[in-house]
Amino acid sequence: MNLEQARANMVEQQIRPWEVLDQAVLDLLYTVPREEFVPAAYRNLAFADMEIPIGEGERMMAPKIEARLLQSLALGKTDRVLEVGTGSGYLTALLARSAAHVHSLEIRPALAAFGRANLERQAVDNVTLEIGDGARGDPKRAPYDAIVLTGSTPVLPATLREQLAPGGRLFAVVGEPPIMVARLVTCAAPGTYGAVNLFDTLLAPLVNAERAPQFRF
């Protein structure tokens, strides 16, 4: 398998057609080796337009979702980022290469170990990775300039947007099958928020994701 050709095909055939035109994002996709973050059994599928199983019932996002996510966050070199769900560590590495520091929370210890090993092998040293439940964020270290949920949430907790610094951005996939949307929430000032729906997609939920109250008769 020609890895460089497969990488180029991913960018040109999947990423660009999905309206990802930010050159900094495209450069990152060439720089961070996606194949080094997938389980060995799936190495040949590292650049495929699909979610890749990484164990514990979890999957990596499709490449085009990761790219749109990065483009929408428009990270700066001084930004502090909270990532909820480390997974393989690939998105963590992309975020880390774009920002000052990433705090990543992974609730599954085996995945935390997998992600940490991948990040260490790639010498990504501006990440604090902890085992923990981030479905309601990380209030003890807030505010953050950007927050990313790598799993969906039926309801977006208000506590998450409240952990944004002024000018901060939050990316989350919100809803339940068959209707989910990728949403970007922005914080103009404390208590003042905006939101825009970016695209429709489907994503497995976070462990302990907030759900809408159930009506009882």
Q: What is the pLDDT of residues 171-215, one digit of tens each?
A: 999 999 999 999 999 999 999 999 999 999 999 999 999 987 765
| pLDDT, average across residues 166-170 | 98
In the CATH hierarchy, which fold is given to the domain comprising 65-200?
A: Rossmann fold (3.40.50)
CA proximity to 152, closest of 51, 71, 79: 51
Instruction: Work out the pLDDT band at 129, boundaries 50, 70, 90.
Output: very high
| pLDDT, average across residues 104-133 | 98
State residue 217's pLDDT score: 53
Q: What is the pTM of this model?
A: 0.96
DSSP calls for 19-41: T---HHHHHHHHHS-GGGSS-GG
Does the pLDDT value for residue 6 go beyond 70? yes
